[in-house]
């Protein structure tokens, strides 16, 4: 039992605290920028401008955000069952295989809107299958899911290299990637949406899978808070003992949760593979699986938090690329450091400022501050 956290008003809990965390992350990042002799203010302006300054930038930001929404949801669903799925990276990678197989098979015969649902199914199925094996070992043998999903990330990477080089690469090609999908395997872009509100987009990879991500976020909310399965998932997440008492099969709920989580991670592949590159290529996931962990942490495992958190990380990706381009002193690696700081303060150190903020609130208006009861304190 820990010192109970006094409850903060919701706006402070969900708005102020993430904001403070973010500011601190940027201040520390600013210090790093200062250290290498660049002007942190100018860097911040470039970053923000590069992320949301123009229609083009916004489209890119949302493109990245799309991937992070999927992987963030994947991590969050598992979190609700107190499972830490670190395997989003591998599940997304294998999900890409599902997408590619569907597209390669049907792109010449079906229009995109018929290929798309098949590709969604392929992505979800392959991602879920990749999550199934660690889930099975966790449920039946108690092998820790953190370890097994990490291992499966490596196995996925090796498997995909083998498949791309030996099986899927068109004969005579030098690049380890599939052939480019035809029109029937390409998702339409969404740039017209931004143009409709008066922004100009030259060409950006934002595509309809962004809308799918928003739908998925809503469905995850329904799943967790409105279905019997979600109720069982949360039950096991809070108290495995109570779940057993309530007749919830631990094996079943672990496996089902991980299948859903893996399916969501797998669906991330739709965005780059079918929406942008239009072929399956090596390493297309580029860390989105791991960013999903930070997104889920920052979004408190709630879809309404995950979507903005994903957009924030999208901004960091897009603005960061711009920054690396504009400021020669700042390399791509610096951007990774900044992202790391955000993860550190917004995710891992989420609670750092909470106690002092609570004390502050308490001293202003003690009445406003109830308290989260201490587990089992008074019985």
Partner 1 sequence: MAEAAIELKGISKSFGSVRANRDIDLKIAPGTIHGIIGENGAGKSTLMSILYGFYQADSGEIFVNGERAVIHASSDAIARGIGMVHQHFMLVHNFTVLENVILGAEGEPLLKTSIAKARSELERLERDYGLEVDPDAVIEDLPVGLQQRVEILKALFRGADILILDEPTGVLTPAEAEHLFRILRQLKDEGKTIVLITHKLREIMAVTDNVSVMRQGALVATRKTAETTVEELAELMVGRRVLLRVEKGDAHPGDFILSVKNLTVEDMRGVKMVDDVSLDVRTGEIVGIAGVAGNGQTELLETITGMRKAVSGTVTLDGAPVELTGEADPTDLRRRGMAHVPEDRHNMGLVLPFEENENAILGYHWQDKYVNGPFLDIEAIRRDAQGKIEKYDIRPTDARLKTANFSGGNQQKIVLAREMEQDPKVLIVGQPTRGVDVGAIEFIHKRLIDMRDQGKAVLLVSVELDEIRSLSDRILVMFAGRIVGERGPDATEGELGLLMAGVEEKEAAE
Residues of this chain that interact with Mg ion (CB under 5 A) are 378
- Which of residues 208 and 216 has its CB atom nearest to partner 1 in the complex? 216
Residues in CB range of 170: below 8 A, 6 or more apart: 178, 179
> Is 366 an interacting residue with respect to partner 1 (CB under 8 A)?
yes
CA-wise closest residue to 130 among 281, 289, 293, 274: 289
What are 281's strand-pairing partners?
177
* One of 4, 53, 184, 287 touching partner 1 (CB under 8 A): 4
Residue with tokens 């799925």: 85
CA distances from 312 to 113, 135, 198, 234 (A): 30, 30, 22, 27
Cβ-closest position to ligand ATP: 378
Q: Which residues contact 4 (CB under 8 A, 6 or more apart)?
A: 371, 372, 373, 374
- Least distance (Å) from ligand ATP to the CB of residue 242? 20
Q: Which of 152, 147, 118, 117 is closest to 132 using CA atoms?
A: 152
**Residues of 37-67 as b/e, b for ≥16 C-beta within 10 angstroms?**
ebebeebbebbeebbbebbbbbbbbbbbbbb
Q: Does 9 bind ligand ATP (CB under 6 A)?
A: no
**Cβ-based nearer residue to ligand ATP, 7 or 179:** 7
Residues 6+ apart with CB under 8 A from 165: 176
Q: Does 359 bind partner 1 (CB under 8 A)?
A: yes
Q: Which does 147 bind (CB under 5 to 8 A by kind): Mg ion, partner 1, ligand ATP, none?
A: none
| Nearer of residues 96 and 303 to partner 1, judged by Cβ | 303
Residues whose CB falls within 8 Å of the CB of residue 77, separated by 6 or more in sequence, listed in order: 220, 223, 224, 233, 257, 260, 261, 264
CA dist 67 and 23 (Å) reads 24
Q: How many residues bind partner 1 (CB under 8 A)?
A: 37
369 part of the interface to partner 1, by CB under 8 A: yes
# of chain residues touching ligand ATP (CB under 6 A): 4
232 binding partner 1? (CB under 8 A): yes
Q: Closest CB to partner 1 among 102 and 263? A: 263
Q: List the single partner that 375 binds among ligand ATP, Mg ion, partner 1, none, CB under 5 to 8 Å by kind.
A: partner 1
Regarding 144 and contact with partner 1 (CB under 8 A), the answer is: no
| Residue with smaller CB distance to partner 1, 137 or 231 | 231
- From the list Mg ion, ligand ATP, partner 1, none, which binds 247 (C-beta under 5 to 8 Å, kind-based)? partner 1
Q: Residue 136, interface with partner 1 (CB under 8 A)?
A: no
**Is the distance from CB of 70 to CB of 213 less than 8 angstroms?**
yes
Nearer to ligand ATP, 4 or 40 (CB): 4
> Using CB under 8 A, which of the segments 46-54, 213-221, 226-234, 310-318 binds partner 1?
226-234
Residue 3 near partner 1 by CB under 8 A = yes
CA 308, 313, 315, 317: dihedral to nearest 10 degrees? -160
* Touching ligand ATP, residues 311-370 (CB under 6 A): 370
Residues of this chain that interact with partner 1 (CB under 8 A) are 1, 3-4, 6, 222, 226-229, 231-232, 234-235, 238-239, 241-242, 244-247, 249, 359, 362, 366-367, 369-379
């Amino acid at each position: 039992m820990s010192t109970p956290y006094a409850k903060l008003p919701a706006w402070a809990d969900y708005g102020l605290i993430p904001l403070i965390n973010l500011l601190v992350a940027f201040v520390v990042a600013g210090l790093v920028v200062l250290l290498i002799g660049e002007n942190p203010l100018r860097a911040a302006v470039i970053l923000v401008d590069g992320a949301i300054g123009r229609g083009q930038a916004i489209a890119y930001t949302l493109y990245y955000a799309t991937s992070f929404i999927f992987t963030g949801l994947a991590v969050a669903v598992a979190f609700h069952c107190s499972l830490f799925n670190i395997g989003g990276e591998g599940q997304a990678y294998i999900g890409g295989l599902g997408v590619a197989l569907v597209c390669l098979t049907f792109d010449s015969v079906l229009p995109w809107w018929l290929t798309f649902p098949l590709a969604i199914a392929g992505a979800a199925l392959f991602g879920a299958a990749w999550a199934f094996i660690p889930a099975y070992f966790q449920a039946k043998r108690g092998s820790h899911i953190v370890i097994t999903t990490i291992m499966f990330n490596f196995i996925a990477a090796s498997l995909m290299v083998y498949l791309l080089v030996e099986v899927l690469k068109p004969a005579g090609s030098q690049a380890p990637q599939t052939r480019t999908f035809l029109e029937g395997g390409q998702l339409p872009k969404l740039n017209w949406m931004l143009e409709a509100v008066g922004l100009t987009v030259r060409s950006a990879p934002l595509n309809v899978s962004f809308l799918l991500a928003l739908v998925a976020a809503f469905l995850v909310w329904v799943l967790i808070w409105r279905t019997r399965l979600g109720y069982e998932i949360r039950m096991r997440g809070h108290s495995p003992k109570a779940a057993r008492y309530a007749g919830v099969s631990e094996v079943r709920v672990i496996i089902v949760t991980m299948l859903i989580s893996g399916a969501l991670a797998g669906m991330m592949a739709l965005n780059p593979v079918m929406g942008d590159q239009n072929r399956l290529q090596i390493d297309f996931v580029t860390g989105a699986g791991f960013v999903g962990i930070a997104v889920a942490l920052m979004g408190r495992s709630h879809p309404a938090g995950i979507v903005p958190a994903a957009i924030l990380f999208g901004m960091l990706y897009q603005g960061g690329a711009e920054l690396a381009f504009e400021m020669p002193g700042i390399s791509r690696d610096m951007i990774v450091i900044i992202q790391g700081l955000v993860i550190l303060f917004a995710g891992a150190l989420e609670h750092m400022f909470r106690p002092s903020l609570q004390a502050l609130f308490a001293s202003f208006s003690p009445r406003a501050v109830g308290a989260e009861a201490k587990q089992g304190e008074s019985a």
